Structures are given as C-alpha cells and as structure tokens.
Amino acid sequence: MSGDLSPIDRAKFVAAKRATDFVDDGMRVGLGTGSTAAWLVRCLGEMVRDDGLRIKGVPTSTRTAELARDVGIDVISLDEAKWLDITIDGADEFDGDLNLIKGGGGALLQEKIVATASDQMIVIADAAKEVEHLGAFPLPVEVIPFGWQTTQALIEETLISMDVMGRTSSLRMNGQVPFITDEGNHILDLHLGRIGNARQLALVLNQMPGVVENGLFIDVCDIVIIGYGSGKVEVRDINEGTVSSQQIDFVENDNLFADLAD
C-alpha cells in the first residue's frame, strides 16, 4: 500500500507516475530494467487495464518482459518494433548534462540498444541519483567470458592514462558464481570514484577486444524526471532547457502497490 512505502520508494513511484504522461496511445515504448523502471511498468499496466491504453512494450531484460506481461502490456521484440517512440528507464547516476551510469541491474547492453533506437529517452530517478561528477557508482562493463581476466587486466592498465580517481575492478558475482547477463556475458564493475572525462572513457573502453559495451550513456537521455519522498517531481528537459515541478498525490491502490517485485 502507498502508505507503507519508504521515502525512497515514494520518490521512485512519483517519478514513474509522472513519466506515464509522456506515453500516448499507440506508442512503441522501451521498458527499462530495475526497481524504478518496475514502478513504471506497473503504472503503465494499470493504464492498460483501467484506461484502455494501447501500447507495444519492448523490454530491456527478461525480468522486465515477465513483469510487463504479468500486468497486461503487449510485449514485442525490438526487431518487431524496428524503432521506438520513447524509452523510459532508471539510472544509477546522472549528472547535470544528463549523462548517465547504468547497468547496476546487469542489463546495460539491451538498455543502451533500446534507448538509442528511440525518438526520446526519459530517465526516472530519485534525487539521490544526481551527482556532480559520474563515477561514485561502480561503472559496469559487459565483457565476453572468453579471456575475461585478460580483458580485465587490459582495462585496468588503460585506466592509468584516464582521468579517474580509482583504477580497480571486480567481477560481478551471483552468489558463488559469476553473474551472467541475458546475452551470456560477464560484467566487470570498475571502481573509479570520479570520472573526469566520461565521453573519452566510454570510447576507449569500447575499443578494447573482449568488451561488449559499457554503462556510460552519453548524449542519450533527453529528459530526467526526479522524484522526492514528499511526492514532488521535477522534470528537466535538456533539449528545451526547461525545468518544471509539481506535486503528485498518493492514492491507495491495492493492484498497483501489492506484490511489486523489485
């Protein structure tokens, strides 16, 4: 129930709720992965069920696909959609230029493909995700399993010449075994502390053999919607140069708030 939500979950919910205002009937919508994106999927599912909203959802992970189907959203593949009207997703960090770190949930590759195949990308996040400089959150890098330790060593050696504070990395684990992405790859989390030149780092990482993709999303996000525990939401449009805010009221809704699996 909404009354039982923590302040952080309230912030995620109001950001997701506000993002649904950008979704129109007939749209092809990229559906992000993670706890904040899960709120969005639930909100859109409620609109499909109660308001007759007709959309095609393109999920960025198997777990998002499962949730979308559970709430009644018509799920299709990106190949079927070919191009999307909008993608709405969360972020692990964003800066003042709306550059992002994503991939905390392990879906960065599909998330980046879907986001760049969209007319517009909207990020929904709580206020704690805003940073002056990217890098406090470990930067995920998806690598193929073959020779991953060699790839890791190459990355760490290359970081010496990069404008970053830290230069260590770790293989992401799932219990006692390596975490496996939907594409069957591993993830290296880079503990950088602060990234001075995110654009340069993104380009350098993706030139390395063994690296599939990195979690830096540069010049991809158009709008960020920031939620607060009070119910306030702030919308920043990087293209229009506008900032607006409003208050979203909480309404008790058993269907929306029950059994949400983050």
**Which candidate in 46, 111, 142, 213 is catalytic?**
111
Whether the pLDDT of residue 9 is over 80: the answer is yes
pTM: 0.94
Sequence-ordered alpha helix ranges (H) in 52-189: 62-70, 78-81, 108-116, 148-159
62 assigned binding-site residue: no
Name the percent of the chain lying above pLDDT 70: 94
Whether the pLDDT of residue 142 is over 80: the answer is yes
List residues bridging with 126 in a β-sheet. Answer: 227
> pLDDT band at 260, cuts 50/70/90?
very low
Q: Residue 139: CB partners within 8 Å, gap ≥ 6? A: 101, 103, 189, 190, 192, 195, 214, 215, 216
CATH entry, 139-212, from 3.30.70.260, 3.40.50.300, 3.40.50.360, 3.70.10.10: 3.30.70.260
Q: What is the mean pLDDT of residues 226-241?
A: 97
Distance CA 203, CA 41 (A): 32
The answer to whether 191 touches 140, Cβ cutoff 8 Å, is no
Whether the pLDDT of residue 129 is over 80: the answer is yes
Which long-range contacts does 231-237 make (Cβ < 8 Å, 24+ apart)?
Answer: 231/10, 231/14, 232/14, 233/14, 233/15, 233/17, 233/18, 235/18, 236/98
Name the percent of the chain lying above pLDDT 90: 93
Whether the pLDDT of residue 40 is over 80: the answer is yes
129 assigned binding-site residue: yes
Distance CA 110, CA 185 (A): 12
Q: What is the mean pLDDT of residues 12-20?
A: 98
168 assigned binding-site residue: no
Distance CA 89, CA 121 (A): 8
Torsion of CA 99, 102, 108, 113, to 10 degrees: -30
Domain with CATH 3.30.70.260 in the chain: 139-212
Whether the pLDDT of residue 261 is over 70: the answer is no
pLDDT tens per residue, range 88-108: 999 999 999 999 999 999 999
Average pLDDT, the chain: 95
Domain with CATH 3.40.50.1360 in the chain: 7-129+219-254
CATH number of 7-129+219-254: 3.40.50.1360
pLDDT score at 249: 83
Active site annotation includes 46:
no
pLDDT score at 251: 66
